[in-house]
Amino acid sequence: MRKLVPSLLSADLWCLKDQLDVLKQYQVDTLHVDVMDGNFVPNISMGVPLVESLRKHSDFSLDVHLMIANPERFIETFREAGADLLTVHIEATYHIHRLIQQIRNVGCKAGVSLNPGTPLELIKPILHMVDLVLVMSVNPGFGGQDFLPETLSKVKMLHQWKQEREDYKYIVEVDGGINRSNVEQVLNAGAEWIVSGSGVFKGDLKTNLDQLNEILLKYN
């Protein structure tokens, strides 16, 4: 199932509830929450209190993208806050098997992400263990950056490996710079979950959702 997963990084927090109500009308069931620590990435964003509040007041599934150094320190905290899926960066830990197991042990789905400059080979040893692979199509840290088309080769490879190996059950998610003008390239490469922040929230929310959904419909 191909679907749009809006990133709250570009939402207007002043009227978040209204925006989430619109997303519900458009059958969005999963929200992407970008957590940045000012260390792994050169920016600070949202964190535990927002996840708690979303869990308390909504039934969206929460796809939490941890752009933080040493994410093992916060796995239990984000699970208790209400995360359904925790994605960690391969570049942010020395012990990826242990970290994926830690996420599973707290009852969360586990994702692994890689920066545009990181080769796919680095995550190969854990592909049989993860529920999701998040291919970054921008260098993480900011919304509204330009999509890097050279990252699509990783999406294609992940899609192909999934067809070849029965033990690979991961969802292929792509994140960064995706909007209505390039989403088809990403879908054609084999992406299943499309993260979009500014492509959803900048400008008119309903128009953006109409346009993106029209394209996604062709792929489902």
- Give me the residues that bind ligand 5RP (CB under 6 A), please: 7, 9-10, 32, 34, 65, 67, 138, 140-141, 143-145, 175-178, 195-199
Alpha carbon of 66 to those of 63, 78, 167, 219: distances in Å?
10, 10, 25, 29
Q: Does 34 show up as a binding residue in the annotation?
A: yes
Separation of CA 74 from chain center: 18
CB 95 to ligand 5RP: min, Å? 23
CB 142 to ligand 5RP: min, Å? 6
Q: How far apart are CA 151 and CA 113, in angstroms?
A: 12
175 tagged catalytic: yes
Contacting residue, 5, 11, 40, 65, with Fe ion by CB under 5 A: 65
Q: How far apart are CA 177 and CA 163, in angstroms?
A: 27
Output b/e per residue, 87-103; b: 16+ Cβ within 10 A: bbbbebbeebeebbebb
Binding region for Fe ion (CB under 5 A) out of 11-19, 27-35, 123-131, 166-174 = 27-35
**Residue number with CB closer to ligand 5RP (134 or 158):** 134
Q: Does 199 show up as a binding residue in the annotation?
A: no
Q: Does 57 show up as a binding residue in the annotation?
A: no
29 tagged catalytic: no
Residues assigned a catalytic role: 34, 175
Residues in contact with Fe ion by CB under 5 A are 34, 65, 175
